[in-house]
Structure 1
Amino acid sequence: MGAVTVSGLKINYRAAGSGDPLVLLHGGFGFDSRSWGPQFDALDDEFNVVAWDAPGCGRSDDPPESFCMGDYADSLAEFVRVLGLNRPHVLGLSFGGALALALYERHPSLPRSLILAGAYAGWAGSLPADEVQRRVQLISEEVTQPPDDWLPKYLPGMLTESAPREMAEQTLALMSGIHPRASLTMLRAMANADLRGILPNIDVPTLVLHGELDARSPLAVGKALHTKISASQLVVLPGVGHLSNVEAADAFNFEVRTFLRSLRGPVGP
């Protein structure tokens, strides 16, 4: 574990392995770098795997309430540069997928490739307006309450019913570390983000990796991303929900490794 100062905030991170840099961007709802355990266990033999706690998550400082998706992206770009990561592959799940797109929009020369898992082009860019409003209202009302009172009902949106009980319990325990005020900031950023405009301009290799049974970001969202990103390929993990990196870790890691190996070659300046 390590920490650096980015945009005036202390940012906690985890790093392991050597090789081409692979930056992992977690989702919202209390997730942080710990949610990438299965990827560290499997991929650090071949890649320099780096996962941050986004501002307001895990052990990182909370950002100002005015933080928008662009601010998260600028902080991420500074984080990558502070660590000296040269054109990393960027893998984002859920909120992290939207953040990866925002990073490309604002810093297009930074990522060597994108992996979008259970991703959105922001909620405003991928969901109907009434669904965005429903989510914002519901989460805004609940997030400041004791986590045990409301977090359990979100588990079905994260994992399928076939997920092992231990996996569900571990996921809930991780989510319970949520920063309430910072989560409202992240919620607003995600709800207002509409990144559809950048999709046709993406010219780095892109893997859209989506769970077939994803209830939070339905498969249609992933298919829309793939359709609009000409440099992309789509892989659907059968029988898997939103947290595909956990629920189908072996298949997820195989697809990530296969994709990244296919890109081996000289890295530009």
Structure 2
Amino acid sequence: MAVVRVGGADVVYTRLGRGPVVVLVHGAGADGRMWEPQVEALADEFTVVAWDEPGSGRSGALPAGFRLEDFAWALAAVIEDVGLGPAQVAGLSWGGTVALELYRWRPDLVRSLMLVDTYAGWKGSLAPEEVAARVEGARRMLAVPREEFDPTLPGLYAAGPPERFAALLEAMGRDVRPESMAIQLSLMAEADESDLLPRITVPTLLLWGELDARSPLDVAYAFRDAIAHAELVTLPEVGHMSNLEAPEAFTAAVRAFCRVHA
């Protein structure tokens, strides 16, 4: 475990393995533990870094007024602290939007991108009525008393949470801070990264669950059409949390891509 202080927050990350650096960026309502299968599997060949973003997991509280740009600068600070040069950066869902924002501000730190079941922000990828419905759903979810708060968003899994990760998911869920999740979802609702997609010049893998209900394949196709030379890999019978629903197939796709672009 390592800690870097940036933007008024202590940011914690784990680092395992040796070799080219791969940075894993978690989604909203989660922390770096969601990447447990990939960290363990890829560390035989890569230096694998999984952060707890500000306001999540073991990291410090979100400073007041924290913006999407600030998450990107915090991620940049982690990559610089690792000290192995530009990274291959993978982000799932909200984490993919953060990875895009990192590329906007610090493309020099990004060797390649792996955008997983993600969005160019909700505003940048979804219809306005869908964004409005999600904002209202988030408002209801966050309005309950803290002891009743459940951070599980609808439509995360194709066939329910995977049993073998039940304990991991429960532990992460207990540690979610409602105030952090409120900021994540608010920023996601307002984000529109679609202008950035045609300007991406690094190798890009689009890795999607075939049955993703939260970021449907139409979003992946829009990414593929906008990003020159992007490669799309779909995982059959898998939903939004593809790295946990099909960890072996997911990790194999990441490994193959990272080997080529290390």
Q: TM-score normalised by the shorter chain: which range applies?
A: over 0.9
Instruction: Show the counterpart of 1:201.
Output: 199
- Aligned equivalents of 2:220, 2:173: Cα separation in 1: 24
Instruction: Tell me by how many angstroms 1:21 deviates.
Output: 0.5
Please tell me whether residue 236 in structure 1 is matched to residue 234 in structure 2: yes
Map Cα deviations across residues 60-100 of structure 1 (whole Å, 9 max, x no partner): 11223422211111121122112313001000000011111
- Aligned equivalents of 1:98, 1:117: Cα separation in 2: 10
Instruction: Show the counterpart of 2:141.
Output: 142
Instruction: Show the counterpart of 1:75.
Output: 74
Map Cα deviations across residues 13-71 of structure 1 (whole Å, 9 max, x no partner): 11100000101000002x00111100011100000000110111111112234222111
CA RMSD in angstroms, aligned pairs only = 1.8
Aligned length: 262
The amino acid across from 2:81 in the alignment is: V
Map Cα deviations across residues 219-266 of structure 1 (whole Å, 9 max, x no partner): 1111111110013100000000111111100000000011111124xx
Instruction: Show the counterpart of 1:103.
Output: 102
Please tell me whether residue 128 in structure 1 is matched to residue 127 in structure 2: yes
Instruction: Show the counterpart of 1:91.
Output: 90
**Structure 1 residues 146 and 88, CA gap change in structure 2 (3 angstroms):** same
The amino acid across from 1:114 in the alignment is: L
- Aligned equivalents of 1:85, 1:124: Cα separation in 2: 34
- Aligned equivalents of 1:127, 1:18: Cα separation in 2: 39
Instruction: Show the counterpart of 1:151.
Output: 150
SS at match of 1:231: coil
- Aligned equivalents of 1:93, 1:147: Cα separation in 2: 26
Instruction: Tell me by how many angstroms 1:141 deviates.
Output: 2.7
User: What TM-score does the superposition give when structure 1 sets the normalisation length?
Assistant: 0.91
Residues 122 and 195, structure 1, Cα contact 8 Å, conserved in 2: yes
Residues 238 and 246, structure 2, Cα contact 8 Å, conserved in 1: yes
The amino acid across from 1:27 in the alignment is: G
The amino acid across from 2:181 in the alignment is: S
SS at match of 1:158: coil
Residues 56 and 180, structure 2, Cα contact 8 Å, conserved in 1: yes
- Aligned equivalents of 2:3, 2:152: Cα separation in 1: 33
Match of 2:212 among 211, 214, 226: 214
SS at match of 1:124: helix
Greater shift after overlay, 196-205 or 182-191?
Answer: 182-191
Greater shift after overlay, 7-16 or 203-212?
Answer: 7-16
User: What TM-score does the superposition give when structure 2 sets the normalisation length?
Assistant: 0.94
SS at match of 2:107: coil
Instruction: Show the counterpart of 1:18.
Output: 18
Residues 68 and 188, structure 1, Cα contact 8 Å, conserved in 2: no
Residues 43 and 253, structure 1, Cα contact 8 Å, conserved in 2: yes
Structure 2 unpaired stretches of 5+: none
Residues 144 and 181, structure 1, Cα contact 8 Å, conserved in 2: no
Structure 1 unpaired stretches of 5+: 265-269
SS at match of 2:109: coil
Instruction: Show the counterpart of 2:224.
Output: 226
- Aligned equivalents of 1:51, 1:164: Cα separation in 2: 21
Residues 28 and 93, structure 2, Cα contact 8 Å, conserved in 1: yes
